Amino acid sequence: VPDHYEEDVSSILIPHGVIMDRIKKLARMIVDNSQGPLVVCCVLKGGHQYFADLVDEIKKLRRINGTSVQLSLEFIRVKSYMNDTSSGGVKISLTDAELQEFKGKNLLIVEDIIDTGATMVKLLDRLALVEPKSVRVTSLLIKKTYRSNGYIPDYVGFAIPDAFVVGYALDYNEYFRDLDHICVISVSFKIIWDVI
Ligand code: PRP
Ligand code: MN
Ligand code: MG
């Protein structure tokens, strides 16, 4: 943990090396289960690091055993708003015209974490309207929480306890995205922010 975050995290939950080992296996599973070209959709911002490393590992598999799946890369900014339930609490950056590009394609959605599942269910509802050929979802993390809506992605990296985790592109108020490991935030850091 770099100096500028040392006092703000209470523990390392998943070290960077363990994340990378798991992503190698996920890449293999995804490639083995995919036929034809794949549109890999990064859910920004939190999904960017997993997306980058996953695509890297898929490319490495090609060099090792010639596994060839053609990838195209897409980016969707999805933001959930806790206090806004009127719009379903989720805003998607693509226009309807841009979403139409997904019609008939094999999509792989890449997310960092499924917490309540609300973001992913809303995104999938929206994507279903444009009739992709198939939609699969991978999330590096799924949180075991009573707030879950029951949604489970197709490919999961790790199931984690109901703690506030940051790092590896997961943020708390935009902090900690630049941390390599997945860490549990310290109670004091969270309290200080929540009263501001
Ligand atoms: C976080 C996370 C997931 C979502 C999970 O994104 O990256 O996308 O929340 O929560 P849920 O399962 O309860 O819906 P956030 O909205 O914080 O945006 P960010 O990715 O830009 O940080
Ligand atoms: Mn996100
Ligand atoms: Mg966030």
Q: Whose CA is nearest to atom 3 of ligand 1?
A: 113
**C-alpha distance from residue 111 to each of 10, 11, 15, 78, 171 (Å):** 24, 23, 19, 10, 13
What local confidence, expressed as pLDDT, does residue 89 receive? 62
Q: Does residue 196 surpass a pLDDT of 90?
A: no
ipTM over 0.85: yes
pLDDT of 192 strictly over 80: no
What does the pLDDT average to over 56-82?
A: 85
Ligand at shortest distance from the CA of 119: 1
CA–CA–CA angle 144, 15, 183 (5° rounding): 55
88: pLDDT confidence band, cut at 50, 70 and 90? Answer: low
**Count of Cβ atoms closer than 10 Å to residue 81 Cβ:** 12
Is 46 touching ligand 1 by the criterion CB < 6 Å? yes
Confidence of residue 191 (pLDDT cuts 50, 70, 90): confident
pLDDT at 138: 98
Tell me: the pLDDT tens digits for 141-158?
A: 999 999 999 999 999 999
Closest by alpha carbon to 53, among 10, 17, 7, 11? 17
Task: Say how far apart CA 180 and CA 60 lie, in whole Å.
Answer: 21
Residue 193, SS3 per DSSP: helix
The pLDDT mean for the chain works out to: 91
* pLDDT category of residue 14 using cuts at 50, 70 and 90: very high
Which are the catalytic amino acids? Answer: 115
Q: What is the pLDDT of residue 90?
A: 72
The residue among 112 and 83 whose pLDDT is bigger is 112
Task: State in Å: Cα 81 to ligand 1 middle.
Answer: 9
- Write down the pTM of the prediction: 0.93
Protein residue whose Cα sits closest to atom 22 of ligand 1: 46
CA distance 140 to 16: 12
Mean pLDDT value across residues 107-135: 95
Q: Percentage of the chain surpassing pLDDT 70?
A: 93
